[in-house]
Amino acid sequence: MRSPLPTVALLALSPIALLAQEPERTTIGGYGEVHYTNPSGPDSPGQVDVKRFVVFFGHSFSERIAFRSELEVEDTKVEGGEGGGEVALEQAYLDYRFSPAATLRAGLILPPIGIINETHEPPTFNGVSRPSFDDVVIPTTWRDIGLGMVGTLPGSAGLSYRAYLVNGLLASGFTAEEGIRGGRQEGKNASFANPSLTGRLEWARPGLKLGGSFWYGGSANQDPALGTGTFENAVALVEADARYDVGPFMFRGVVANISIADAERINAAFGSQIGSRIAGGYVEGAYNVLSALAPASAQRLNAFIRYEHYDTQADVPTGVTDDESLARRITTLGLTYKPLYNVVFKGDYQLLRNKAGVGEGEELSLGVGYQF
Amino acid sequence: MPAAAQSAPHDKLAKSIERVYGAGAQVDTVKVDTTTVYRISKAGTLLGFAEVRNVIGKELPITFLVAIDPQAALRDIDILVYREPQGGEVAYEPWRKQFRGKTAADPLQVGKDIRNISGATISSNSVTLGVRQALAQLSAWRAAGKLQ
């Protein structure tokens, strides 16, 4: 049976009458990871933890408007008076899609910085824990409230962007050991005293993705000791990353630099010892062993090595003596087994070193993770 | 992964067919079993066949076109509707053009003859699987004389 339907006729028909009506739909998904870590060798017990259990809820109201969220439980539970444990909304935003080049996004969003912050599901990265750099330098999972635009630039240049205005960091939470991490407000009754800008540009080709991102914003929260301007005690972050897959090999690398020019004033106000510059990065190479052992298999067994080097006191302001134990070097060797793309079994061994040679150690980790 | 029936706006489909086969082509619809296949010809010469399919990306369907030539070699694919916030790079031409000329005899697997896009791994895998299934089906129908 054949019915003639020339292209011209298809084009001439009213687009409104023929426009496919998208049904409303609710989607659920999730990811999680369970870890075993032993920092002290075979003679002492290790520790096990349900590191993360996360549920996604999403709803498409129409072809153009969608809601997305991520609700997380860390360490299985929150118990009054006990340390650890967290129940947190990690993302909750509305997308209004005008075109592929322009989607308006508003709500609790992820600053698009580095590789891990936006894409942090356990099967997407090697190693049981996220790279330490993506904890201490880029404080994943970094989320804040704001709005902005995301999209793909027209044409086939392969460029995409995200740009947001979000609430700022609080200098009161900055520390010598973990940099800006404690300054995140995470959407909890957050102060909007220092609206901050963050954005990212990405260029993709088959096998290759290059990205660059930034954050710029004040952190003084109108504290009279620090200054009341919008960009007072500015935090300026720049970052670049690359991912390259070729045959059975996978490479990725990230570098970032964070300047806190008014570190001296922040230290004076809070009695802290923060650096005026935080810098570092990592490189990682992986090889899918199954490509040689079982070429027909769609499963993966990645052997990988990652070298991280970062310092939360790369530069120190007047009044702070550089603590060389904060100049950290971490080498991670491990295996990542993925029977399916969304399921992962991991094991790794980390050599934790620092410039001062103080408190160095080695750590064995095992883990399982999933996403759906 | 098969997805619930999901269509693309007809103007998008018509433009896509025109992009793949050139302007002025005639499009006829052919039913094979329950599937609609577009038969594309120009001035009486057969140019090929095309089908619209869906795969689930991370959560939502990706609607795409698979177009073959009369020898059942893949002429091109096109992403007609992409609905998710991440992974839209599968619509980029540099990624799509890897499929041109593939036949049902090719592996069509990410990491083998198709390269991944980092950050769009789920979409890359889903679309590649969908193309492999569509190409196998269209080739079989062509060989069996169901598409003429």
List the A2-4 sheet strands across, edge first. A2-4, B26-32, B35-42, B45-56, B61-68, B74-81
- CB atoms A202 and B119 under 8 Å: yes
- CB atoms B24 and A7 under 8 Å: yes
Q: Do the beta carbons of residue A144 and residue A112 sit within 8 Å?
A: no
Average of per-residue pLDDT across A2-28:
54
pLDDT digit string, tens, across residues B77-128: 999 989 888 888 899 999 999 999 999 999 999 888 999 888 888 899 999 9
Mean pLDDT of chain B: 91
- CB atoms A204 and B120 under 8 Å: yes
- CB atoms A3 and B13 under 8 Å: no
Q: Is the pLDDT of residue A18 over 50?
A: no
Q: Is the pLDDT of residue A2 over 70?
A: no
Using CA coordinates, name the residue in chain B closest to A247. B111
What is the pLDDT, as a whole number, of residue A298? 84
Total tally of structural domains belonging to chain B: 1
pLDDT digit string, tens, across residues A84-117: 899 999 999 999 999 889 999 999 999 999 999 9
* Rounded percentage of chain A residues whose pLDDT exceeds 70: 94
Q: Report chain A residues whose CB lies below 8 A from the CB of B98.
A: 206
Question: What are the beta bridge partners of residue A95?
Answer: A66, A105
Q: What residue type is assigned to position A369 of the chain?
A: G
- B118 to chain A, any CB pair closer than 8 A? The answer is yes
What is the pLDDT, as a whole number, of residue A309? 98
A366 min Cα distance to partner chain B (Å)? 24
Q: Is the pLDDT of residue A5 over 90?
A: no
The whole-angstrom separation of Cα B122 and Cα A7 is 33
Q: Is the pTM of this model over 0.95?
A: no
- B116 to chain A, any CB pair closer than 8 A? The answer is yes
pLDDT digit string, tens, across residues A70-93: 999 999 999 888 888 999 999 999
Average of per-residue pLDDT across A354-371:
95
Average of per-residue pLDDT across A324-352:
97
Q: Which one of A5, A207, A244 has the shortest CB-CB distance to B27?
A: A5
Q: Report chain A residues whose CB lies below 8 A from the CB of B6.
A: 20
3-state secondary structure of A34: strand
The whole-angstrom separation of Cα A314 and Cα A302 is 33
- B8 to chain A, any CB pair closer than 8 A? The answer is yes
Is residue B148 one of the residues assigned to a domain? no
B50 min Cα distance to partner chain A (Å)? 13
Average of per-residue pLDDT across A268-277:
97
The whole-angstrom separation of Cα A319 and Cα A270 is 13
Using CA coordinates, name the residue in chain B closest to A150. B85
What is the pLDDT, as a whole number, of residue B6? 64
Residue B107 is part of which domain span? 3-143
3-state secondary structure of B68: strand
- B146 to chain A, any CB pair closer than 8 A? The answer is no
Is residue B105 one of the residues assigned to a domain? yes
Q: Do the beta carbons of residue A207 and residue A250 sit within 8 Å?
A: no
Average of per-residue pLDDT across A237-257:
96
- B34 to chain A, any CB pair closer than 8 A? The answer is no
CB pairs under 8 A between A and B: 127
More confident residue, B84 or A353: A353
Q: Is the pLDDT of residue B4 over 70?
A: no
Using CA coordinates, name the residue in chain A closest to B126. A341
Q: Is the pLDDT of residue A227 over 50?
A: yes
What is the pLDDT, as a whole number, of residue A360? 92
Is residue B44 one of the residues assigned to a domain? yes
Average of per-residue pLDDT across A22-32:
90
B13 min Cα distance to partner chain A (Å)? 9
The whole-angstrom separation of Cα A157 and Cα A291 is 32
- CB atoms B58 and A29 under 8 Å: yes
Q: Show the CA angle centred on residue A215, arms to residues A211 and A216, nearest 5°.
A: 145
- B11 to chain A, any CB pair closer than 8 A? The answer is yes
Q: What residue type is assigned to position A101 of the chain?
A: A
Q: Which long-range contacts (CB under 8 A, 24 or more apart) does A360-364 make?
A: A361/A39, A361/A40, A362/A39, A362/A41, A363/A37, A363/A38, A363/A39, A364/A37, A364/A38, A364/A46
Average of per-residue pLDDT across A217-221:
96
Mean pLDDT of chain A: 92
Using CA coordinates, name the residue in chain B closest to A245. B116
